[in-house]
A = this chain, B = another copy of it.
Amino acid sequence: MHFALISKVLGLLLVVFSFTMMPPVAVSYFYQDGSEGPFLASFVISLLLGLMLWLPFFRHRAELQTRDGFLVVTLFWSVLGVIGGLPFLISADTPVGFTDAVFESVSGLTTTGASVLSGLDTLPKSILYYRQQLQWFGGMGVIVLAVAILPMLGIGGMQLYKAEIPGPMKDAKLTPRIAETAKALWYLYLFITVACASAYWLAGMTLFDAVTHSFSTVATGGFSTHDQSMGYWDSAAIDWITTVFIIIGGTNFALHFAAIRGLSPLTFVRDPEFRFYIGMVFLYILLVTLGLLAFNVFQGADETLRHAAFQVASFSTGTGYTSTNAAAWPGFVPFLLVFTSFLGASAGSTGGGMKSVRGALVFHHSIRELRRLIYPNGAFALRFGRHTVNDRVLQAVWGFVGVYITIAVVFTLLFTVTGLDLATAVSCVAASLNNLGVGIGGVASGFADISPAAKWMMTLLMLLGRLEIFTLLVLFTPLFWKQ
């Protein structure tokens, strides 16, 4: 392990992160909300901490190795998670302790969007802005993690995408490769954010709301500046814009990149994961629409379809916005919505869950097993799009899915130990592990009232989900620390 190098990298990240406290200061001055103090304090703390980690080693020249990657990525998210909580902890407008401050910050950065705050509409603009910005920067980190880093680390079969990492790198070294890829992806991310903000603004949001909600939309984050989330506007236009941009955010950004470079929308149609992802979204919309019609929840077909599409997009990508009180929808519908988040969005997106590509591979694999029962001596290669999936990738996918489900079940039980009923416990797991952020049952109106133990479990699960479990889990093996 190159601890000197890791300290340097982490220090540098903290120095960069400290400057993200400045836009909220600007917002505070602009709206004269008198709330710049906590951000300035956090800026100083973060900057000093970063320099302390960086300065002793700034002359250090070594290449990060793949194995260092696990530690850097985990530290990146957990340290920024704690530091990002400082403004909440310091500000008198958010009367939260350490547990809640870290929960809110990690929830923001991992683009989870679960909140322990309420009365959002009366909070200072700067704090509202800061929460949204946490998600936006978190989304930037997620994309680079998901498109470039996880495939390189080989997490959960993501080496499948190794050849498709955008940017001119292939055999370059780790750091410049990631830097090149990141730059390409962030331009794209910025472009989509601007498009989304413009659409919101044209549909009637204030500029502040348009920008801040575009942040949490493309990040599939789900934070809002209103307690009612998107339901605040009750606007068909805004709901449909959100639905579309959520689905864009839940799509592999490497695919967006390829489609734009090739100027071909057919790129999407040709991608087997995208087909599976969109296919499942349409299937869910159909089922939820039928459910809503059966229970006569809305007056017309228009409104039914609008809310069904919105909530399906929101839950299945792990965004967590609400256009209406979906947790109170009758019968099976809320359960279905929660369960869609386990499969989740596409790999390489800002979305959550196990990812569609893994679902698709598991599905194809199971079909192959059926075939093998009939022809035990047949050779059935597993085709996925243009690729033949090798056994190694498949085993990594299965290992991931197995551990993911095991963690989901074990934590569901642990949440019931803290006193929650089963539906609420499942909802807490989905909200955190799938980076969904929204709950049903006992946590339908937020996570402020669950026990501190449950909050820390959720914080851990948010990180586990975002780091696709193995990045973090591998640190707990003795083998990792052996020279």
CA–CA, A154 and B335, complex, Å: 35
Stretch at the interface among A137-145, A256-264, A472-480: A472-480
CA–CA, A67 and B374, complex, Å: 6
Is A207 at the interface (CB under 8 A from chain B)?
A: no
Q: Are B477 and A154 in contact (CB under 8 A)?
A: no
Q: Which of A70, A291, A405 has the largest number of chain B CB atoms within 10 A?
A: A405
Q: Are B373 and A474 in contact (CB under 8 A)?
A: yes
Q: Which of A392-451 contact B (CB under 8 A)?
A: 394-396, 398-403, 405-406, 409, 412-414, 416-417, 419, 421-423, 425-426
A375 nearest CB across to chain B (Å): 8
Q: Are B470 and A370 in contact (CB under 8 A)?
A: yes
Q: Are B373 and A413 in contact (CB under 8 A)?
A: no
Number of this chain's copies in the assembly equals 2
Q: Are B417 and A332 in contact (CB under 8 A)?
A: yes
Q: Are B374 and A335 in contact (CB under 8 A)?
A: no
Q: Are B366 and A417 in contact (CB under 8 A)?
A: no
* Given the contacts A395-B394, A474-B370, A477-B371, A422 and B426 also touching, CB distance less than 8 Å: yes
Is A369 at the interface (CB under 8 A from chain B)?
A: yes
Is A234 at the interface (CB under 8 A from chain B)?
A: no
Is A153 at the interface (CB under 8 A from chain B)?
A: yes
Q: Are A399 and B365 in contact (CB under 8 A)?
A: yes
CA–CA, A339 and B372, complex, Å: 30
Q: Which of A347-370 contact B (CB under 8 A)?
A: 362, 365-366, 368-370
Is A49 at the interface (CB under 8 A from chain B)?
A: no
The contact string, 1 if C-beta is below 8 Å from chain B, for chain A 316-353, is: 00000000000000011001100100100000000000
Q: Are B402 and A362 in contact (CB under 8 A)?
A: yes
Is A296 at the interface (CB under 8 A from chain B)?
A: no
CA–CA, A373 and B362, complex, Å: 21
Q: Are B416 and A335 in contact (CB under 8 A)?
A: yes
Please give, as numbers and ranges, the residues of chain B lying within 8 Å of A400 by CB-CB distance.
369
Please give, as numbers and ranges, the residues of chain B lying within 8 Å of A396 by CB-CB distance.
369, 372
CA–CA, A402 and B370, complex, Å: 12
Tell me the nearest residue of chain B to A392, going by C-beta. B372
Given contacts A331-B416, A370-B479, 20 further A-B contacts (CB under 8 A): A67-B374, A154-B372, A154-B376, A335-B412, A336-B413, A336-B416, A339-B413, A362-B402, A365-B402, A366-B402, A369-B470, A371-B477, A374-B474, A375-B479, A391-B391, A391-B395, A394-B395, A398-B398, A401-B402, A422-B423
A and B contact pairs by CB, cutoff 8 A, 20 listed: A153-B373, A154-B372, A332-B414, A335-B416, A336-B413, A365-B395, A366-B402, A366-B406, A368-B399, A369-B395, A369-B400, A370-B477, A372-B396, A373-B474, A391-B395, A398-B398, A398-B402, A401-B402, A405-B405, A422-B426
A residues with CB within 8 A of B: 66-67, 70, 153-155, 291, 331-332, 335-336, 339, 342, 362, 365-366, 368-376, 391, 394-396, 398-403, 405-406, 409, 412-414, 416-417, 419, 421-423, 425-426, 470, 473-474, 477, 479-480
